Amino acid sequence: MKSVLLAPVLFLASIIEAHPGPHAQPDPVHLARRGALAKRCSDSVGLMKRNRHAMRRRDLSPSDGTTTYTITADAPNYDFLKNDTCILTPETSTGPYVYPRSQILRQDLVEDQLGVPFVMDIGLMDIHTCEPLENALVDVWHCNATGSYSSFTGLDPDISFPDQYLESTGEEIDAENGMGDVSFLATDNTTWLRGMWPTDKNGVTSFTSIFPGFYTNRAIHVHVQVHTNWSITSNGTIGAGSTVNTAQLFFDEDVAAEVMTVPPYASHTQIARKPVAEDGVYFEESLTGAMAIMDTEPLDGQDYKNGVLGYITLGVDTTAIHDGTTEDPNPPIPTSGDSA
C-alpha cells in the first residue's frame, strides 16, 4: 500500500527530471494480473534467455578456439519471473502515432559518436502465450558519452530539465498538467544513438551502439519503446496501431562505474553521476516488479572497458493491446498529467 501512495509524488518528480516520454504508473489490479500472466511464462523466458546467451557465445568465439570465454546465464528455471523480466504495459493511443523523425530503421546507432562499444540484445516475450513476440518494432534511444541526446544537442546535459525548460520557454513546467509534448525543444535533426528494428522469429532484436553516458539527476539509462502492428508510411515515418509503453533500462553500478573511467566518459566531471539506486525512474519501475537492469557481460569476455554486451527480456501483455484504442490500463494520476 505504501508504494502505491508514494507513486504519484515520485512520478511527478521523475517526469520533470527525465527527458520527454510517457511514464504511467500501473494500478495494483493490473499489476496483479500481469504478474500472474508473467509467472506462467517463467520457464519459457528462462529458456529464451539461455538460448540467446548460447547464440552470442557462438557468434563471439574466435574460430581459432583461443578464447576461454564463459557464459554466465542463469539456469532456465525461474520460480519468479518478474525480477528477471521487465514487463511493459500498453499505453493509450487513439490512432497513428507519429514518431520523432530522428528514429531511423537501423541496428547500428553509432554514426560519429565515440565511446565504449555496446551491443544490446533485446528479447520480447508475449506473456499471454509465453511465446517469443515476433515482428514487433523495438525503438531505442539514449544519450552520448557526455550526456547529450541527438536532436537536442543545443540543450546542456549538466542543467536540470526544469531549468532547461524555463530557459527555453520562459515558463516553469506546469506542475498541475505536466510538461505535455516537449518536442518543440528539439534544436536540430541529428539522429545518432537512436534507432528501431523489428524482432526476429525468436522474438529477439539487437542494436550496436556506444555505452551511454549520463546527464544531470539521472542514472545511466536507455529508453526503449515497443510497437506492435507497425508499418512504414510513404514519408518514412512509422505508423503504429499499438504502442507498448516506454521503459527505461539501467545498468549495474559496478559496470557503469568501470565504463565511466574510460575517455571520453571520464571527461564528464562537471556534474556528479547519479547511481542507479538513487534514480527516480528506476525506483518507479521497480515498484511495478519489473527488473529493469540489463544483464551484462564484457563483449570480449574479459574487460567491460573494451565493450559491453547487455541483455534484457521485455514482457509484453498482448491481450491488453487492441487496435490503438486500448482501454487505459493506467488510469491517469490526478495532478501529474501523463500526456508527454
Ligand X SMILES: *[C@@H]1O[C@H](CO)[C@@H](O)[C@H](O)[C@H]1NC(C)=O
Q: Which residues of the chain form contacts with ligand X (CB under 6 A)?
A: 80, 83, 98, 101, 113-114, 144-146, 148, 153, 186-189, 229, 233, 235, 237, 241-242, 264, 323
CA dist., res. 214 & res. 201, Å (int):
34
> At closest approach, how far in Å is the CB of 268 from ligand X?
8
> At closest approach, how far in Å is the CB of 340 from ligand X?
18
295-298 vs 204-210, strand pairing mode:
unpaired
C-alpha grid cell, residue 145: 558519452
Nearer to ligand X, 65 or 184 (CB): 184
> At closest approach, how far in Å is the CB of 237 from ligand X?
4
C-alpha grid cell, residue 49: 534467455
Nearer to ligand X, 11 or 214 (CB): 214
Placement of cell 534514480 in the chain: 279
Nearer to ligand X, 146 or 313 (CB): 146
Nearer to ligand X, 113 or 336 (CB): 113
Long-range contacts of 333-336 (CB under 8 A, 24+ apart): 333/7, 333/8, 333/11, 333/24, 333/25, 334/8, 335/8, 335/12, 335/175, 335/176, 336/8, 336/11, 336/12, 336/15, 336/178
> At closest approach, how far in Å is the CB of 110 from ligand X?
11
> At closest approach, how far in Å is the CB of 312 from ligand X?
13
> At closest approach, how far in Å is the CB of 289 from ligand X?
10
C-alpha grid cell, residue 171: 515558463
Nearer to ligand X, 153 or 160 (CB): 153
| Cα–Cα nearest to 273, from 163, 193, 157, 167 | 157
Q: Are 238 and 221 in contact (CB under 8 A)?
A: no
Nearer to ligand X, 11 or 97 (CB): 97
Placement of cell 562499444 in the chain: 117
Nearer to ligand X, 80 or 302 (CB): 80
Nearer to ligand X, 148 or 246 (CB): 148
Q: Are 126 and 44 in contact (CB under 8 A)?
A: no
Nearer to ligand X, 67 or 319 (CB): 319
> At closest approach, how far in Å is the CB of 106 from ligand X?
18
CA dist., res. 232 & res. 198, Å (int):
12
End-to-end CA distance of the chain: 27
> At closest approach, how far in Å is the CB of 239 from ligand X?
6
C-alpha grid cell, residue 270: 562537471
Placement of cell 550496436 in the chain: 208
CA dist., res. 203 & res. 130, Å (int):
11
> At closest approach, how far in Å is the CB of 68 from ligand X?
26
